[in-house]
Amino acid sequence: QQQVKQSPQSLIVQKGGISIINCAYENTAFDYFPWYQQFPGKGPALLIAIRPDVSEKKEGRFTISFNKSAKQFSLHIMDSQPGDSATYFCAAKRQAGTALIFGKGTTLSVSS
């Protein structure tokens, strides 16, 4: 059972455009929703995270939108740059001591 569903699988965006990646979760006990960026051959790095008590969080060019009733959250990358080309994973966890459950990932390519 896939607990976190991520779409699209791949995404091509022009430089300066907005990249949008979506995730949906099933377990209502989840209470922490981070997004990670991973470059080939490297470990994932935390980009931004949100708790269910807020509907939006912005850090620089990265914004998470969270819809608790729909059990969905999304990552928006504004002014996308070629350096943003990477694989992005959404994740969720239900308690601080438990492991993150990852979505399948989205490969983003930003064309110059």
Partner 1 sequence: GAVVSQHPSRVICKSGTSVKIECRSLDFQATTMFWYRQFPKQSLMLMATSNEGSKATYEQGVEKDKFLINHASLTLSTLTVTSAHPEDSSFYICSARILRALDPYEQYFGPGTRLTVT
Of 44 and 108, the one with the shorter C-beta distance to partner 1 is 44
Quote the least distance from Cβ 5 to partner 1, whole Å: 11
Scan for tokens 């949906």, then name that residue: 24
- For the bound state, the minimum distance from the C-beta of residue 53 to partner 1, rounded and expressed in Å, comes to 13
The residues binding partner 1 (CB under 8 A) are 32, 34, 36, 41-46, 49, 89, 93, 96-105, 107
Q: Which is nearer to partner 1, 17 or 32 (CB)?
A: 32
Distance CA 28, CA 18 (A): 29
CB of 16: closest distance to partner 1 in angstroms? 27
Q: How far apart are the first and last CA of the chain?
A: 38
Q: Which is nearer to partner 1, 66 or 89 (CB)?
A: 89
The residue written with tokens 């455009």 in the block is 17
Least CB distance to partner 1 at residue 28 (A) = 17
DSSP assignments along 19-75, one per residue: EEEEEEE--TT--BEEEEEE-TTS--EEEEEE-TT-SEEEETTEEEEEETTTTEEEE
